[in-house]
Structure 1
Amino acid sequence: MNASQKKSTIWAWLVVIGCLGFYSIPTGIIANTSGIFVAPVMDQFGWSQTDTTMYRTIQPLVSAVVAPFAGRLLQKGNPRWILAAVSLAFGLASWASAYATELWQWNLYGVVFGITAGFFMYLAAPVLINSWFEKNAGIAISITAAVLSLLGAFASPIGQGMIDAYGWQTARAIMSIFTTVLSVVLTVLFVRKSPAVMGLLPVGAGHKPNETAVEKEEELTFEDGATMEQARRSPGLYLLVLVAGIFVMCAAFFQQIPAFCARTELGAGAGAMAVSIMMVGGIVFKLVLGALNDRIGVRWTGVISATCGALGIFLAYIAGANVTVFYAGMVIFGGGYAGLTVIAPMLARESFGSLNYSQVYSWVSTGIFIFTAISFVVYGMIYDTTGSYDLCFVLVIAMYLIGVVLVPVTIAISHKAWKRA
């Protein structure tokens, strides 16, 4: 490895640390711990749960509108300063919400959350990593996702401890200030738009003797890519959005698992344990999927992920009172759950290349936010209508099986839009 290649590799992994700053830290510490503040806020102000959590419904809808503009802005501007400003705005808004006493103030926070999340939650990290890594992009993305889960696992009990000791307002203010400072500092220090602006090449760029078929395919995908006109005219783009939507809707069903357990012979204790299992399993599977993607490509990794999701939910569904089978299902389900943050960005890169990745993936991000917003409504309506979660399980299994079919189909159809040309 010559000096230029070594510098490229060092800077690429520093950019990953920058992605931890604007993505993993705020999402893991603030967004993923929002549930611990619901009960104390409701108790203090006497609001309903629907009113208290309405800002979480507002957020993905606003993000869906913002994501396409964010994609173009990240492509044309300097992500270092854009994402630093986004991190600061989100952190200050989260800090201000610690002193919100009216519902409209929380809903306004949901709007600010939505605007900033349109940049940092699903879009920016894959865009930057795609620019810096021709090779090993899968493991780099999976690391940012795994750290997010790890931070969430630690932040929830720590945050709850601070709430118990000092009250929810002090706890939220402390968490927000800590997150903001760390996020902005890491973003400014380590985020750089691309290797080209620094006179470098992406990791793995250049001639590679004895490369595998997967590496050759990824090389073409990385160096070339569809124009936005080609992408918009291709059914593959809309299949790509649908596949990402399937992964997010299925992942969102995890939020229903504790309630399902509490209403069955498994019991609430099993539901609580399932959360812990998913925290650990999600971290492991994100790393595994990232490594598999770099080894065998996203076509087969996506199929494996969706198959794990379907099999895991099926086992949980047929477990009855058998806690062992239920837990085994939750472990395997982690493979599908982790697919959202690993498979979706790599599938976009494989389908349409890197030429206009930020704009292509902004479409995917929009779809993810929309499917996020409707997922809880769908599962809630099914339970309210039928009085059971049975149909929810069937729906999730069916969606994962559809994903198994659509991952390779999406790649094949997308390639026709530009590779032959």
Structure 2
Amino acid sequence: MSTNTTRGRILDYLALESDATVAHLAAALSTARSTVQRALDAMVEQQELRVLEEKSSGGRGRRSRRYQLAERPRPVLVYIEAPEEVVVRAVERDGTVLGAASTRRESAGPLTIDQIIELFRCAAENAGREIADFAGAVVGVPGPVTTLRSGDPAPHRRSAFASWGSNPPSIRQLQTWAGEDPVEVLETRLGLRAVMENDGNLSALGESLLGAGRGGHIVLCLSLVRTTGGGIVVDGQLRPGRSGMAGEIGHLSVRADGPLCPCGNRGCFWSEAGYETLRIELSTVVGHDLSPADVAARVAAGDSVFVAALRDFGARIGSIIAPVVGILDPDIIIVDGALGAAAETVTVGMREALVRDSSPLAARDLRVTSGELGDAAPFVGGAAHFHRSLPAATPAHV
């Protein structure tokens, strides 16, 4: 594991704990003590950490060195889009929400850039802060996000829209930024450093750090409500893949002669058998539109039709990802906590299908569980992702 990767995990840990020794960090991160010590030495030199020395018990022997952040990380503004709502939350690195602002989508079309900027300003105001008080801004988008070339002068910038230009696919969330670079827009209009990432990846990172994936080695997190996708986290590090498509179950083909998807594939899962399709089918059964919360309430109440439908839905997902599980061999699969009470029912069907269709060794000790953070997952992950994207500080020499 590289020193830079270890640095990010140390920053995550110390954002939640007041301080720690090298032994505590090595155990918590499952990383060799020598690797942790090298990272700590570099971070002290770069003035990211301060050292607290304590006398050993009894007053003899070597002093115990404890490390803590040199200064408290500033909060971040995180922007996430859903089919019917756009939300910006002011979030501390430890996931604490300071304030938020949201707006319902109008049927007339996507939000304007001015409306988006106003949403950021309202979230800051509701947190009792000025825009300048924030470390930066994060944009979570439902489309694939591809890393720019390593030679780019701003390597933290990531582009999801280069191949679409001013004609993005007919997904409402993607139309908001048609022809625009979200990072450039926010940096220009807000005066803050900005980064962009796929919202499913942000959810996966959030659940891995502070939710159901804590302590996991290889974690696959599935987003099913806001979008149909997912993310992969290995040893606390997001692994989006070369093209940004790692974990994107929504774009696995389930019908070869299905409709053409904006991704270039046919019969993708999100359009053929995703959660939105299921919700519409259940709405037809009861004769009126159902929200995800309505579906969860029906499941919690024990409605046999809804319980069976959600269990079958989980089984379909399990069958689709069974080959992936055999290849990736994760130790935890997290089902979108935004499903609420329905998530546990989905995991039951998924687990049954994975035991039946996947490699027995891969499925034997696999933990399939519902997310703990609910709809907060991408915001928690967004704050962590932003701070991890910051370059190491340059030491000040006098």
TM-score in same-fold range (> 0.5)? no
- Give the structure with higher Rg (CA): 2
Structure with greater proportional strand content: 2
TM-score, length-scaled by structure 1 = 0.26
